[in-house]
Amino acid sequence: MGNITLSQVTKTFGDVEVIPPLDLQINDGEFVVFVGPSGCGKSTLLRLIAGLEDVTSGKIEIDGQNATELPPARRGLAMVFQSYALYPHMTVRKNIAFPLKMAKMSEAEIKKRVDHAASILNLSDYIDRRPGQLSGGQRQRVAIGRAIVREPAAFLFDEPLSNLDAALRVGMRLEISELHKRLATTMVYVTHDQVEAMTMADKIVVLRAGNIEQVGSPLELYRTPRNKFVAGFIGSPT
Ligand code: ADP
Ligand code: MG
């Protein structure tokens, strides 16, 4: 399951309200993209869901359970960081296994899950290499593998492709979409790239200064943008 409900969630840093009261429903299995200009609060919203930031007020429910006060590790979600968050001295296997070791899972179960993730991600031939011996795309797959092995209720991605070159980005976009189809698990994906949003999302959440300007499918936003901001944002790729 991967239903996430935000009710009247706010976030204030100092005396700046970065997220005004916000309601959002993310349904099990959906690929939801948060899109909006730099500084609009996309990362903050994702970090609130992940539990890496505490809400100032409001409530976050995950599969019907109140998760507002739960620490990140107990929310059943997995954040996919950019590939530079890998441990350079560890092999691919150890990098992917890391969260399971922390959770004190048995070696047999860890091996099973890592082998499975590596096979899904076409990393089996690279399992004993270190990140420095991999391409940018392979490194990003390792970062995704580290999330897959935790079998999360939802994957949370914060601009995972932004440090890859343009050609690689297109390929990884397709790979993540394929992975979503294969796993059928909720994915929440932050980007400032309209093309990523339009091509990957089931549901796009357009943010502006912490406010949701519109929520809808790519086609809905394209055909019936609610205002000029949404129209300009969806209509004008950078
Ligand atoms: P985005 O990911 O859309 O670029 P962020 O969520 O990173 O935007 O930031 C939204 C706003 O919140 C920005 O104005 C940013 O400066 C501010 N902000 C984010 N994190 C912090 C923090 N830890 N302390 C103070 N201000 C923050
Ligand atoms: Mg950000």
State the DSSP string of 158-189.
Answer: ESTTTTS-HHHHHHHHHHHHHHHHHH--EEEE
d(CA 124, CA 117): 9
**At 238, is the pLDDT very low, low, confident or very high (cuts 50, 70, 90)?**
very low
Name the β-bridge partners of 158: 190
36: left (phi over 0), alpha (psi -120 to 50) or beta: left
DSSP, res 155: E
Cα 46 to ligand 1 centroid, rounded to whole Å: 11
For the whole model, what pTM was predicted? 0.94
Mean per-residue pLDDT, 212-232: 95
The answer to whether 31 and 177 are in contact (CB under 8 A) is yes
13 lines ligand 1 (CB under 6 A): yes
d(CA 48, CA 56): 10
Q: What is the pLDDT of residue 32?
A: 98
Interval 66-85: pLDDT, tens? 999 999 999 999 999 876 78
47 lines ligand 1 (CB under 6 A): no
Q: What is the pLDDT of residue 164?
A: 85
Q: Whose CA is nearest to atom 25 of ligand 1?
A: 13
Cα 177 to ligand 2 centroid, rounded to whole Å: 21
d(CA 228, CA 192): 17
205 lines ligand 1 (CB under 6 A): no
Interval 95-136: pLDDT, tens? 999 999 998 999 999 999 999 999 999 999 999 999 999 999
Name the β-bridge partners of 35: 191, 206
80 lines ligand 1 (CB under 6 A): no
Asked whether the predicted pLDDT for residue 49 surpasses 60, the reply is yes
Interval 80-101: pLDDT, tens? 987 678 999 999 999 999 999 9
d(CA 113, CA 116): 5
Interval 193-220: pLDDT, tens? 999 999 999 999 999 999 999 999 999 9
User: For residue 40, which atom of ligand 1 is closest to its CA?
Assistant: 3
Instruction: Identify which of 18, 52, 157, 212 to mutate to test ligand 1's pocket (most ligand atoms within 8 A of the CB).
Output: 18
18 lines ligand 1 (CB under 6 A): yes
Instruction: Judge if ipTM > 0.90.
Output: yes
- Mean pLDDT for all residues in the chain: 94
Q: What is the pLDDT of residue 236?
A: 55
User: For residue 47, which atom of ligand 1 is closest to its CA?
Assistant: 6
d(CA 42, CA 19): 9
DSSP string, 86-124: S-TTS-HHHHHHHHHHHTT--HHHHHHHHHHHHHHTT-G
Q: What is the pLDDT of residue 162?
A: 87
Q: What is the pLDDT of residue 232?
A: 87
d(CA 196, CA 170): 9
Residue type for position 16 = V
